[in-house]
Amino acid sequence: MEKAQLLARAQEYLQQESDRAFAQEVEHLIAADDFKELEDRFYRDLEFGTGGLRGIIGGGTNRMNTLVVTKATQGLCDYLKEQFPKKALSACIAYDSRRRSADFALATALVFAANGIKAYMFTALRPTPELSFAIRELGADTGVVVTASHNPPQYNGYKAYWNDGSQVVPPHDVGIIEKVAAVTTPKTIDKESAIQQGLLVYLDDSIDNRYVAMVKSKLLRPELIKQEASKVKVVYTPLHGTGAMLFERIMGELGLNVLTVPEQRNPDGEFPTVSYPNPEEPAALKLAIGLGEKVRADVVMATDPDADRLGIAVPDKNGAFQLISGNQLGSLHLDYLLHSLKELGRMPSKPACIKSIVTTELQEYIAAKYQVECKDCLTGFKWIADVMRQLEKEGKTFIYGTEESYGHLIETEVRDKDGISAAALTAEMTLYWRSKGKSLLDRLDESYLEHGFFQEKGINKYFEGPRGMTIMAGIMEAYRSNQPIALGGIPVVHIRDIKTGLAWDVGTAVTRKLDLPASDVIQWKLRDGTMVTVRPSGTEPKIKYYILCRTEASIGLDEAKKQSALKIAAIEADIRKVIDSAK
């Protein structure tokens, strides 16, 4: 982008930004003639992706700041009024522990109020799943949670929700973006006036109470918990986020002995004890596992800063803690739920579960065992919620939804991933298999022996800056123009290009249409059943690869694990060649 064009965009931003801290950042860059940094801040506008807005906090159109947040909210208001012209509208707002989250949440609420939309706002930070619950419980028309989930501390974000408590999907997301682009000056109102006019209403603990009751009602064996809870020790970390209050309350009311990592209990947007506040990262659980080893815990649990993701670690037979992947925990959850519903005689007539297209296929095998329909959807929990709506229209019963990135959902009262209810289910599941003389690792091995050994590997490569999007687009285009005939030495037998909506067997000219929304995703099925997927992230400047490997377990689990590791290493080597050449 030319310097004159960048300066013009910067000046336009300065005329509109009401927050002097953000405006001063840009003024200092202009004075220093820092063209490189200005380009990164103004070469584009932040866009809605799979998780809404997300970006580095700071001044600029490509940053998270008050102007970007209020413009997004004004666009959302304009779209709502167009969709529901005769309705008295309302919205729910929540926020996490990140830098400026409370400020962005209040700015959001005041834009809603200025547009005559009643804003229900939590008095303090709350988990994302409770925001989804509150929208449905209060009958609100929309909702916003200010969070960047598990990103580093310099990030923040803005997730927009629809009236059923799910994140917005097409056509609403596109419609909102169009309205946001047309916004010149967001409306706002001062806090005192909004409260006096009844347009800003703070939520009290009644929503907390209802949410807690709902989570506890989803447990399948309350009597077992009463009998055995005191025998189980849980170590927990909220990773400086929102989870501690509700997690500790629910587990305490269930009678479970919870030890929260003291260094990580209090909310802190700097996340001082971790590089990434992400339960997917082994380093993030270091303190929790250390405490777990010290007190000989039965399970270690971690939620991310907005408590919508759950990660766990469990001790093996030697007492050493092993991290359980999102795919493994999702499979354990589904297995436990279906096993329990059948055992208790509570299996509904038309049960269904949902997983993303990059989530382990072990879940398809588990679902088939219990004659339960397993639906696939795009990556992002908003797509799981979209399939939930379809299931309801078809008269089917939702049992469980999950994606590999530590997202789990067991209830219909929430339409986003819920790390709190997943934790409660995990505690009950641990108790149940313990009562049968098994650990979670034992049960996982039983599933592998029955269905095959499944191992997954994710590869992420960041491409920061204005050229990043171009590089990632180039990688995807190169794949489409010259599809690989093999990965890791294993022939490709089937290809799905979800952007074009087509799938075909290699060596044939016959294609079939996919029943999935268009998305920039390519999948390759290999001759041994392994699935490899590539897609640019919808929320971060990175390209993501997923290797889902399956090996027959009839050769023994140890040998199956060795063969899987070799296959994954060979496939990864081919992927790295593409990434390295793109740099």
Catalytic residue set: 149
SS3 state at 95: strand
Kindly give, in sequence order, each residue whose CB lies less than 8 Å from that of residue 28, ignoring residues fewer than 6 positions away: none
- ∠245-337-301 over CA atoms, to 5°? 35
Cis peptide leading into residue 171 (ω within 30°): yes
- Would you say 15 and 56 are in contact if contact means Cβ atoms under 8 Å apart? no
N-term to C-term CA, the chain:
21
**Rounded distance between C-alpha atoms, residue 484 and residue 334, angstroms:** 34
- The rounded radius of gyration (Å) of the Cα atoms in the chain is 24
Question: DSSP class of residue 510?
Answer: -
Both structure tokens of 245? 């209050």
CA distances from 381 to 40, 99, 354, 433, 488 (A): 29, 25, 10, 28, 31
In contact, 462 and 542? CB cutoff 8 Å: yes
CA distance linking residue 559 with residue 474, whole number of Å: 39
Strand (E) or helix (H) holding 503: strand 502-505
Give the integer Cα–Cα distance in Å for 320 and 192: 55
Q: What is the DSSP string of 172-230?
A: HHHHHHHHHHH-SS-----HHHHHHTT-EEEE-HHHHHHHHHHHHHT-S-HHHHHHHGG
Token readout for 466 is 């204005």
C-alpha triplet 552, 556, 559: angle, nearest 5° = 85
In DSSP terms, which residues pair with 491 in a beta bridge? 486
Q: Where on the phi/psi map is residue 269: left (φ > 0), alpha (ψ -120 to 50), or beta?
A: alpha
- Edge-first strand order for the sheet with 407-409 is 373-377, 351-356, 397-403, 407-409
Query: Alpha-carbon distance 384 to 74, whole Å?
Result: 27
Residue that has been written with the tokens 């000989």 in this structure: 296
